[in-house]
Amino acid sequence: MPKVIKTKTEFEGRVVEEYVVVEGEGLSAWEAQTPLRFVGKRTPRIDGPERVTGKAVYTSDVQLSGMLYGKILRSPHPHARIKKIDTQRAEKLPGVRAVLSFHNTPTISFRRQTFLFDQIVRYVGDEVACVIADDEEIAQDALELIEVEYELLPAVFDPEEALQPSAPKVQPDGNLLNGQPEIYQRGDLAQGFARADVLIERTFKTQCALHNCLEPHGSVALWEGDSLTVWDSTQHIFGVREGLARLLGLPLHKVRVIKKYMGGGFGSKNNLGKYTVIAALGALRTGRPVKILLDRHEENLATGNRPSSIQHLKIGAKRDGTLTALELKAIVAGGAYCLWPPSVGGPARQLYACPNLKTEQYTVFTNTGPLSAFRAPGYVEGTFALESVMDELAKELKMDPLELRLKNYTEIDQTTGRPYSTKGLREAYERGAKLFGWTSLKKKGQGVRGRLRRGVGMASQIWSGNGMPPAYAIVKINPDGTATVITGTQDIGTGTKTILAQIAAEELGFPIEKISVEIGDTQLGLYAPLSAGSMTVASVGPAVRGAAHDARHQLLDVAAQVLEVPRESLTISDGLFSSPALSECVAVPEVLKNLENFMIIGRGAREPNPEDVAVNTFGAQFAEVTVDTETGEVQVERIVAVHDSGRVINPLTLSSQIEGGIIQGLGYALFEQRIVDRNTGVVLTDNLESYKVPTALDIPEIIHEMIDRPDLKANNLGVKGVGEPPIIPTAAAIANAVADALGVHIYELPLTRDKVLKALGENHA
């Protein structure tokens, strides 16, 4: 019987408590020593061949009969009131089928901060109108024929300026999100600082970073009668379904969202986008399917970002390194619209034992592109500042940075007082240090080879670890001994499909080739949460295991009767039944073939999260760099990463996540930054030439290992997430290594030539 329970989930640094309905008995997680055939094995992606041969149909590949194309007109002004939109000339252009604007579409509220087509535009790139035409070029031509009369309003781009009382208001209620800073505190801060032998106070700045997913954002909308089908490049098909149904006034069963393959999201595709709703309205108006696919320029303007931050950090410690107090005041540039603040203070609150602590965060509206989640939102920024100041503290105390971190190690979650279910950070430090050669490199000190200086640095990682209910799955066993896993999760490129096949094969006792996995369809699938917060496997995986478990038991029940052997004597492995009562093994189809089209349907649901422990992931990264003292060039030579994400299901797909996270972190450390013109608010880095992501030549040697210990309390697989953890400490480790090389710390990212040369005392004169 379904049970209604309250469950706590930590999602991207925030603990949320919600009611969920769960069912079924909880399975125990496989113990570390349990022999497993598929789980834990390097398994190539089951959908690899179709992806690399171009046969996989991504949203951008969807071609429907009679399909039209939409292009969005975007505001050239950072803040303006639209007085008039004249679309007549655009509508007359041959091939144009419709022009949508606030004049001819329903008033649809978006995030309660804007409308689908708002008469106020709040950043350069805000949606103004949309042309639906026979092809993209005609639509683009027509955009230039739309005449918009704007009344310009004063704009503000800098978050500190936006906080001034005299600043132009980006949102009617003022520029501070929720009207007040977000404050967390514990202990007695003043007393903590008073007890300190050493105080360090620094201001850190981090840049705004853009996701630049390989596959841009986009949707294809098709109406069949009063049913809407949308192909969408999204991290949450059920979220898009709910949003479309709500905004368009449709019942849920009339909305179907499909996402089979995806070329990256990194958090920027967590939510329903305006382009999706516009595509649906355009298709409704024209009676033909409509595709809206954003281009690279739009990706860099209007699809979210990791916001810039200013972090004032004060830390107090005893002579022996024990932290006595920590205070963080962070200002985050939210952009024009912002639903939630990224937890910049998360690492400060959680990473170390510190009894007296306050974090205060101001998330500020500015007339720039809105923020979104971006792979460990807040934690990448927060870890850079915290781990930088820890290194400065270690230097001041003449302690090894690693020793200082171990001195303040905690087995208890500092924010809830709950013990960690498992914490492999101490081991990550030890193994990482050994792999890296930390002690001997540290002893050697800064290496100077002519113009080159070598430096080493390290940083720690904490992030939420568990998934969340509800998530459901079914496993069908076909008469020929194959099985299909069905659930409504989505593979955002991380290898979810393969992982789910491994889990099902393991639990069923089937060869993995006999398993297919159907995901990414709200109409045929069962609810699963969004693929974000490193939660997919920990949310859906246990449901799939539950479904496979249920299916296996049904299969054994049936087989025992068909084979006329005692039920408890029967086992299945590699698709073969065996029992002491049988002379030889029997294949599954041999049993099912006599039962006509009998189909086994196993059901599974995600169990609630444990109440008495905190489930988190941990890790440590070590970086070695050389800095060219004449040109300011930073060369990252090597990164060693050791992470604890619970049980590893697939070392191959996991290694892609670790390496990808480190590479993205390296780009953030060294050169990725959105540049907005200070005078006009225009994004100047609106392409992949000027927004610099790492190239193959920029990538250093990456050595990584996992603690790989099942977290038996977390869920029935013992897994924790791995998507976000690897990006968290990379920039901090690199910055600490650069500081080690230079002898001075750079407090601002990215570590471009101007900053490095300045730190070296090189200047114009």
Count of Cβ atoms closer than 10 Å to residue 713 Cβ: 17
- SS3 of 560, please? helix
- Strands across the sheet containing 586-587: 571-573, 576-578, 586-587
Give the shortest CB-143-to-another protein separation in angstroms. 10
Answer yes or no whether residue 299 interacts with another protein by CB under 8 A.
no
Q: Is 698 in the site for another protein (CB under 8 A)?
A: yes
- What is the C-alpha to C-alpha distance for residues 75 and 124, in angstroms, rounded to an integer? 5
Among 677, 701, 743, 744, binds another protein (CB under 8 A): 677
Q: Which stretch binds another protein (CB under 8 A): 21-29, 135-143, 179-187, 648-656?
A: 135-143
Candidate segments 112-120, 371-379, 642-650, 691-699, binder of another protein by CB under 8 A: 691-699
Find out whether 349 and 176 touch, Cβ atoms under 8 Å. no
How many helices (H) and strands (E) would you count in the chain? Answer: 19, 31
Minimum CB separation from another protein for residue 133, in Å?
14
Between 319 and 758, whose beta carbon lies closer to another protein? 758
Backbone phi and psi for residue 562, each to the nearest 5 degrees, phi listed first:
-65, -45
Phi and psi, residue 224, nearest 5°: -125, 105
One of 137, 173, 224, 611 touching another protein (CB under 8 A): 137
With binding defined as CB under 8 A, does residue 669 bind another protein? Answer: no
Does 630 participate in binding another protein (rule CB under 8 A)? yes
Q: Is 670 in the site for another protein (CB under 8 A)?
A: yes
- Which is nearer to another protein, 703 or 760 (by Cβ)? 760
Nearest Cα neighbor of 466 from 533, 528, 419 is 533
Residues 450-469, interacting with another protein (CB under 8 A): 451
CA angle 666, 672, 676 (to 5 degrees): 160
Q: Which of 664, 701, 684, 527 is nearest to 213 (CA)?
A: 664
Determine if 550 is a binding residue for another protein (CB under 8 A).
no
Q: Which is nearer to another protein, 107 or 690 (CB)?
A: 690
Establish if 134 lies at the interface with another protein (CB under 8 A).
no
Cα 278 to Cα 282: distance, rounded to the nearest angstrom: 6
Does 753 bind another protein (CB under 8 A)? Our answer is yes
From candidates 14, 675, 708, 713, binder to another protein by CB under 8 A: 675
Residue 667 CB, nearest approach to another protein (Å): 8
Least distance from another protein to the Cβ atom of residue 753, Å = 5
Residue 631 engages another protein in binding (rule: CB under 8 A)? yes
Give the Cα separation of 300 and 208 in Å (integer). Answer: 11
* DSSP assignment of 585-635: -EEHHHHHGGGTT--EEEEEEPPPPPSSSB-EEEEEEEEEEEEETTT--EE
Task: Give bridge partners of residue 636 from the DSSP assignment.
Answer: 625
Please list every residue from 53 through 92 that binds another protein, using CB under 8 A.
Answer: 76
CA 666 distance to own-chain centroid: 17
Q: Is 724 designated active site?
A: yes
Asked whether position 632 contacts another protein by CB under 8 A, the answer is yes
Binding mask 29-58 for another protein (x = CB under 8 A): ------------------------------
Q: How far apart are CA 677 and CA 700, in angstroms?
A: 32
Considering only the stretches 109-117, 145-153, 275-283, 671-679, report the one whose residues sit in contact with another protein under the rule CB under 8 A.
Answer: 671-679
Question: In what helix (H) or strand (E) does residue 219 lie, and over which residues does it extend?
Answer: strand 218-224
**Nearest distance from residue 338's CB to another protein, in Å?**
24
| 680 lies in the binding site for another protein (CB under 8 A) | yes
Q: Which of residues 237-296 bind another protein (CB under 8 A)?
A: none
Report d(CA 385, CA 363) in Å as an integer: 17
513 or 754, CB closer to another protein?
A: 754
Half-sphere exposure for 738 (CA within 13 Å, toward CB): 33
Closest to another protein by CB, 4 vs 765, is 765
Question: Which residues ranging from 311 to 350 are in contact with another protein (CB under 8 A)?
Answer: none
Three-class SS state of 162 = helix
* Minimal distance, residue 300 CB to another protein, in Å: 11
**Residue in the structure block whose two tokens are 């042309």:** 131
Between 83 and 758, CB nearer to another protein:
758
- Our finding on whether 449 is near another protein (CB under 8 A) is no
Binding residues for another protein restricted to 371-410, rule: CB under 8 A: none
Contact 374, 306 (CB under 8 A): yes
Question: Count of residues binding another protein (CB under 8 A)?
Answer: 39
Beta pairing, strands 68-74 & 290-293: parallel
**First CA to last CA across the chain, in angstroms?**
78
Which tokens in the block code for residue 147?
A: 């005449």
- Residue 644: how many other CB atoms lie within 10 Å: 27
**Shortest CB 695 distance to another protein, Å:** 4
Query: Of the listed 149, 242, 724, 748, which one is catalytic?
Result: 724
> Rounded to an integer, what distance in angstroms lies between the CA atom of residue 707 and that of residue 643?
6
> Is there binding between residue 682 and another protein (CB under 8 A)?
yes
Residues in the chain: 765
Q: Using the minimum distance from each CB to another protein, give the nearer residue, 519 or 682.
A: 682
Among the residue ranges 307-315, 327-335, 454-462, 755-763, the one whose residues contact another protein (CB under 8 A): 755-763
763 binding another protein? (CB under 8 A): yes
* Cα 444 from Cα 454, distance rounded (Å): 10
For residues 92 and 253, which CB has a smaller minimum distance to another protein in the complex? 92
Q: Under the rule (CB under 8 A), what is the footprint of another protein?
A: 76, 124, 137, 140-141, 144, 297, 451, 630-633, 670-671, 675, 677-680, 682, 684-686, 689-690, 692, 694-698, 752-754, 757-758, 762-764
User: Which residues does the annotation mark as catalytic?
Assistant: 724
